[in-house]
Amino acid sequence: MPLLDCIEISSDDAIRNSVIWLHGLGADGNDFAPVVRELALPHTRFILPHAQAIPVTVNHGYTMPAWYDIYSFEPGAAQDGDGIRATQEKVEALIANELARGIPSQRIMLAGFSQGGVIALHTALRHPAPLAGVLGLSTYLALADSLSIEKHAANQHIPIFMAHGTLDNVIPLARYHASAQALQSQGYSLELHEYPMPHSVCMEEIGDIRGFMKQQLGLSLT
Confidence (pTM): 0.97
Q: CA 52 to CA 86: how far, in whole Å?
A: 12
Residue 222: its pLDDT value, please? 47
Taking a C-beta distance cutoff of 8 angstroms, is the pair 41, 49 a contact?
Answer: no
Task: List Cβ neighbours of 177 (8 Å cut-off, separation of 6 or more).
Answer: none
Is residue 13 annotated as part of the catalytic site, yes or no?
no
Residue 140's SS3 state is coil
Is residue 23 annotated as part of the catalytic site, yes or no?
no
**pLDDT at residue 221 is higher than 70:** no
Question: Whose CA is closest to 74, among 178, 182, 163?
Answer: 178
Single-letter residue type at 144: A
> pLDDT per residue over 111-132, tens digit each?
999 999 999 999 999 999 999 9
Cβ-defined contacts of 83-87 (< 8 Å, 24+) = 83/54, 84/118, 84/119, 84/122, 84/142, 84/143, 87/51, 87/119
Which residue among the candidates 152, 177, 199, 200 is catalytic per the annotation? 199
Q: CA 24 to CA 88: how far, in whole Å?
A: 15
Is residue 199 annotated as part of the catalytic site, yes or no?
yes
Domains in the chain, ordered, with CATH?
6-217 (3.40.50.1820)
Which residue among the candidates 31, 69, 80, 168 is catalytic per the annotation? 168
> What's the whole-number average pLDDT of the chain?
96
Which residue among the candidates 10, 18, 105, 114 is catalytic per the annotation? 114
> pLDDT per residue over 168-217, tens digit each?
999 999 999 999 999 999 999 999 999 999 999 999 999 999 999 999 99
